[in-house]
Amino acid sequence: MKEQRKNKKRKNKKKMSELNGGLKYTVCGEWFPEAYPAFRSEKWSRGDEDPLDTEMRLFCSCERWAFNRLLEGRSREELKQEGQGVCGLNSRYCDDAIMKAKAVIESQKELLSLEIEETETKLSRAKKKLRWAEKDLDKAIKANDPAKIEQAKRTFHGRKTRVKKLAAKLAELQKHEANVTIPKVVFGGRSLWRQVCQGKASREEWRDVRQNRLYARGDDTKNGNPNIRAVYQGGEFRLNITISHLSEQKGIDSKGRPIMTRAPRVTGKLWLPEKHRLKVWELLLTGVPYTVELIKGRDGRYRVHIAFTMTAPELVTDPNLGYVGLDTNPDGVALANVNYFGQPEPWPEGFIVPYPKALHKFDGEFQVTMHPNGFFTSRCPNWLTAAVSDALTSSAFWLR
């Protein structure tokens, strides 16, 4: 069984490396909604909730519904068509909810083998502690000490219960592995659900956690993301979110498909960290696809996670010639010359680094050490680090 789980891990790792062929650039920010649609849906809205909360609730409900249907063996295309009528979302939102549910199932299958290994380790450790407790109980009985006997009995009983629980959990996990199923998933968190059952948390808090997010995948043919679009207007970033359940059918086309009205949007200002703004602006100009997840916290604030998908840059150097590594630190610079296999390689004949002479008499002054096996180190004040880095880079450029 362990060898099978190891083989599964290797296959999963290989699969993940194939899926993650591009680069992902993720930015976290905060969104401040400003303009809402002026009307509500009599069919889908509940109480006084605004259209955005209704859309988030419908999306989370669609994800849970798709999760249960996928476990029954239903296909993605079938659920995509049926989910639009069940949950009131457009086809893209519905497909995103199905993909999220599918990702939950796949992650649970991958975590199952890890959970089994962890439970086996805990069970072996608990059995060892149980044997120790049994020995302590025998010693206390031989010594005829009532206080120690009582304490040893409590310890023995607690550890015996622990072994029993872990054995039952391990048997259940192994049964799931044999039947190719997954353990029960609690949307919203198992710990919070236990607090609700114990009366430590309210059902309103539980419902808010279960319907507090909206997710939309990117599409390179739709200028980034058609459902949740980030734009740069008037010197600031803005986020426009499509409220698909407010779109109404106005007819049927020649192929029998419904013709829907244009869905309204909720717009608002998007705050991003200053260090990411220029990069995000450049990526938005290029039109690369980006995935957006909107999460409403318990404090009522909206957090945004934007993940841009970019293609990996092409390799412009020839690795057969080796590499030159440059490391900059606050108090110095280091240069390393390695071959194709990553092993140190001596400097080529005639390689020199120009530097002022006789400045290394005392600690804290400019110091240079040249190693013939391909290493170069330099200690210098902070204000010289950038200048020395440029000099080293230009000196080592002709090596490759």
Count Cα atoms within 13 angstroms, Cβ side, for 233.
10
Mean pLDDT across the stretch 338-345? 86
Least confident of 134-138, 188-192, 356-360: 356-360
Check: CB of residue 33 under 8 Å from CB of residue 266.
Answer: yes
d(C-alpha 130, C-alpha 105), whole Å: 36
Q: How far is CA 104 from CA 64, 97, 151, in A?
A: 10, 11, 45
Structure tokens at 71: 């476990």
The band of 3, judged by pLDDT with boundaries at 50, 70 and 90, is low
Among 266, 299, 306, 262, which Cα is nearest to 284's?
306
d(C-alpha 272, C-alpha 380), whole Å: 37
d(C-alpha 122, C-alpha 159), whole Å: 12
pLDDT tens-digit profile of 133-188? 999 999 999 998 899 999 999 999 999 999 999 999 999 999 999 999 999 999 98
Q: How many CB atoms neighbour CB 47 within 10 A?
A: 6
Domains and CATH numbers, the chain: 2-23+46-179 (no CATH), 213-308 (no CATH), 319-399 (3.30.70)
- As a whole number of Å, the CA-based R_g of the chain is 31
Among 218, 225, 240, 226, which Cα is nearest to 37's?
240
Three-class SS state of 262: coil
Q: How far is CA 326 from CA 148, 332, 339, 351, 371, in A?
A: 65, 11, 15, 16, 15
Look at residue 312 in the predicted model and tell me its pLDDT. Answer: 72
d(C-alpha 303, C-alpha 337), whole Å: 45
Taking the CA atoms of 347, 349, 355 and 359 in sequence, report the sign of the dihedral they define: positive
Q: How many CB atoms neighbour CB 277 within 10 A?
A: 16
pLDDT tens-digit profile of 40-51? 888 899 988 899
d(C-alpha 50, C-alpha 84), whole Å: 20
Q: What is the largest CA-CA distance in the chain?
A: 92
Look at residue 358 in the predicted model and tell me its pLDDT. Answer: 59
pLDDT tens-digit profile of 87-101? 999 999 999 999 999
Q: What's the chain's average pLDDT? A: 84
Using the predicted structure, report yes or no on whether residue 18 has a pLDDT greater than 60. no
Least confident of 63-77, 101-115, 165-179, 247-261: 247-261
Over pLDDT 90: what percentage of the chain?
Answer: 54
d(C-alpha 380, C-alpha 364), whole Å: 7
Q: How many CB atoms neighbour CB 86 within 10 A?
A: 15
